[in-house]
């Protein structure tokens, strides 16, 4: 266990970053491992689970709905599932904390079970749109009463049997896709989701691994994913690979701090997650992949990153779904590159833990960066390696990725950058500050 990230932090310039990083488990895969193991009949074991607050919220919710979930002293998690259709009525409201993934995927599960559940969360999560899952789940028969604007707190009353649907995603969202597929697990017949733009496919991969009948077909309309309902999931032994969204901070930090040379172990290299690596390489970053292998049905590699002068690019908008959580880190890289980086086509950033376009625009502007805010992204004039302005305080807005991205910015500022609230870092990367200190000890 790591010390809880502090309320406010000051990150002063330091470096270079050197050494090895062991990544925390992938957050998306960790949520799904707990959920699917809870729906299997029998005992699954999970190693490498991310023990961050978001994933612990999923574990608590699955326990509240009948699964037995325990962590062994060796860090192995054991899950005794209740079977598809076997979720029990939770006694109280489900506290989703800061986690959009927990909320949207679990709404899908509840929607096709004979239970009802109230979902509540923190101020950030309570501001995020849930209409995108309410609409398809209501079409499957769930009765959902939400707060104004389709927000939390909300109540889902499931229907048994639910009605299978064929649903074309109106937004590129793996959470919406997964919510419908998970509802489909306990729905008679075949539930189909059509995604015009591919998003992370961990649900599809892992459901197939658990023995669900799931078919994926590439068509002119996009990827069609069909799940056969009334599924029986077999317990599994799962090794969760490292989180590429957490690797993002070290990829950027090592690229921009002169003299850095970092090896990042065990990064999930699923092609639906590697957009940041592609974008950084277009910017002339020095990132090598070694030891490519497969872990838990996912491609994995070690990444070796060395400092390199970065060049501005127009970020290809079609990379957006495969790097959606990495934009805050990318914006910091862009601020240190030579020239104007244009990152558009990422309007989804406005509905994450914070409005990540506005929050990063405010934070980088405070650090002296010249930029233009667009409705769907930022244009950032890079310094060509000259330091950002330190001695400033930025607001993280309950958003872990803002706090971590601006901590990286502090490494290359004239003086410390202060972050008003770093506690949200515990949602996805509890060891972030410990790892930063190990890679680049603070100067006295």
Ligand X SMILES: C=C(OP(=O)(O)O)C(=O)O
Ligand Y SMILES: O=C(O)C1=C[C@@H](OP(=O)(O)O)[C@@H](O)[C@H](O)C1
Residues designated catalytic: 325
CA 356 to chain centre: 14
Return the SS3 of 249: helix
Question: Which of ligand X, ligand Y, none interacts with 174 (beta carbon under 5 to 8 A by kind)?
Answer: ligand Y
Binders of ligand X in range 349-408 (CB under 6 A): 352-353, 401
Asked if 101 is part of the footprint of ligand X (rule: CB under 6 A), the reply reads yes
Question: Which of ligand Y, ligand X, none interacts with 135 (beta carbon under 5 to 8 A by kind)?
Answer: none
For the bound state, the minimum distance from the C-beta of residue 199 to ligand Y, rounded and expressed in Å, comes to 6
Asked if 122 is part of the footprint of ligand X (rule: CB under 6 A), the reply reads no
Binders of ligand X in range 41-80 (CB under 6 A): 54
Asked if 326 is part of the footprint of ligand X (rule: CB under 6 A), the reply reads no
Give CA angle at 52 (48, 56), nearest 5°: 95
For the bound state, the minimum distance from the C-beta of residue 326 to ligand X, rounded and expressed in Å, comes to 9
211 is in an annotated binding site: no
Question: Which of ligand X, ligand Y, none interacts with 178 (beta carbon under 5 to 8 A by kind)?
Answer: ligand Y
Determine which helix (DSSP H) or strand (DSSP E) holds 434, and give its type and residue range. helix 432-439
423 is in an annotated binding site: no
Stretch that binds ligand X, among 93-101, 166-174, 255-263, 289-297 (CB under 6 A): 93-101
For the bound state, the minimum distance from the C-beta of residue 77 to ligand Y, rounded and expressed in Å, comes to 18
128 is in an annotated binding site: yes
Nearest to ligand X of 187, 359 (CB atom): 359
For the bound state, the minimum distance from the C-beta of residue 245 to ligand Y, rounded and expressed in Å, comes to 7
421 is in an annotated binding site: no
Asked if 298 is part of the footprint of ligand X (rule: CB under 6 A), the reply reads no
Give the span between the Cα atoms of 164 and 357, in whole angstroms.
37
Give CA angle at 437 (397, 292), nearest 5°: 90
Question: Which of ligand X, ligand Y, none interacts with 99 (beta carbon under 5 to 8 A by kind)?
Answer: ligand X
Pairing of strands 377-383, 370-374: antiparallel
Q: How many CB atoms lie within 10 A of CB 429?
A: 26
Footprint of ligand Y (CB under 6 A): 28, 101, 173-175, 178, 200, 324-325, 348
Give the span between the Cα atoms of 133 and 325, in whole angstroms.
20
Whether omega before 336 lies within 30 degrees of 0, making that bond cis, reads no
132 is in an annotated binding site: no
The first and second tokens of residue 245, run together, are 């969204």
What secondary structure does DSSP assign to 29-87, as a single string? Answer: HHHHHHHHHHHBEEEEEEES---SHHHHHHHHHHHHTT-EEEE-TTS-EEEEEE-TT-P
Give the span between the Cα atoms of 218 and 415, in whole angstroms.
51
Give CA angle at 267 (283, 412), nearest 5°: 45
For the bound state, the minimum distance from the C-beta of residue 62 to ligand Y, rounded and expressed in Å, comes to 16
Asked if 428 is part of the footprint of ligand X (rule: CB under 6 A), the reply reads yes
Which residues contribute to the annotated binding site for phosphoenolpyruvate? 27, 100, 128, 175, 356, 401
Residues lying near ligand X in the complex (CB under 6 A) are found at 27, 54, 99-101, 325, 352-353, 401, 428
């Amino acid at each position: 266990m790591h010390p809880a990230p502090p309320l406010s932090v000051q990150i002063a310039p330091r470096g270079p970053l050197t050494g090895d990083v062991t990544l925390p488990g992938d957050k998306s895969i960790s949520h799904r491992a707990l959920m699917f193991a809870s729906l299997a009949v029998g005992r699954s074991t999970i190693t490498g689970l991310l023990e961050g607050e978001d994933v612990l919220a999923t574990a608590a919710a699955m326990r509240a709905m009948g699964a037995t979930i325990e962590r062994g002293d060796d860090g192995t998690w054991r899950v005794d599932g209740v079977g598809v259709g076997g979720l029990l009525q939770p006694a109280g409201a489900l506290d989703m904390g800061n986690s959009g993934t927990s909320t949207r995927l679990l709404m899908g599960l509840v929607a096709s079970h004979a239970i009802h559940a109230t979902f509540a969360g923190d101020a950030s999560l309570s501001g995020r749109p849930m209409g995108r899952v309410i609409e398809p789940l209501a079409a499957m028969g769930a009765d959902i009463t939400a707060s104004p604007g389709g927000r939390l707190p909300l109540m889902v009353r499931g229907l048994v049997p639910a009605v299978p649907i064929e649903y074309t995603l109106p937004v590129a969202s793996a959470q919406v896709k997964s919510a419908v597929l998970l509802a489909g697990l306990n729905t008679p017949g075949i539930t189909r989701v059509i995604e015009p733009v591919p998003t992370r496919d961990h649900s599809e991969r892992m459901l197939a691994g658990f023995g669900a009948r799931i078919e994926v077909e590439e068509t002119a309309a996009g990827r069609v994913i069909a799940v056969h309902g009334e599924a029986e999931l077999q317990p599994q032994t799962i090794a969760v690979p490292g989180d590429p969204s957490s690797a993002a901070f070290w990829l950027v930090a090592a690229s921009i701090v002169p003299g850095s040379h970092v090896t990042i172990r065990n990064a999930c290299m699923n092609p639906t997650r590697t957009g940041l690596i592609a974008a950084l390489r277009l910017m002339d970053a020095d990132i090598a992949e070694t030891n490519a292998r497969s872990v838990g049905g996912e491609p994995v590699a070690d990444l070796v990153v060395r400092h390199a002068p970065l060049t501005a690019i127009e970020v290809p908008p079609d990379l957006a779904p495969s790097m959606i959580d990495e934009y805050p880190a990318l914006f910091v890289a862009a601020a240190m590159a030579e020239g104007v980086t244009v990152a558009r086509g990422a309007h989804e950033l406005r509905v994450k833990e914070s409005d990540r376009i506005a929050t990063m625009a405010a934070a980088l502007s405070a650090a002296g960066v010249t930029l233009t805010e667009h409705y769907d992204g930022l244009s950032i004039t890079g310094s060509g390696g000259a330091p950002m302005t330190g001695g400033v305080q930025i607001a993280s807005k309950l958003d872990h990725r803002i706090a971590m991205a601006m901590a990286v910015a502090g490494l290359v500022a004239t003086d410390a950058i202060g972050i008003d609230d770093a506690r949200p870092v515990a949602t996805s990367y509890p060891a972030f500050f410990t790892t930063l200190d190990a890679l680049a000890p603070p100067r006295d």
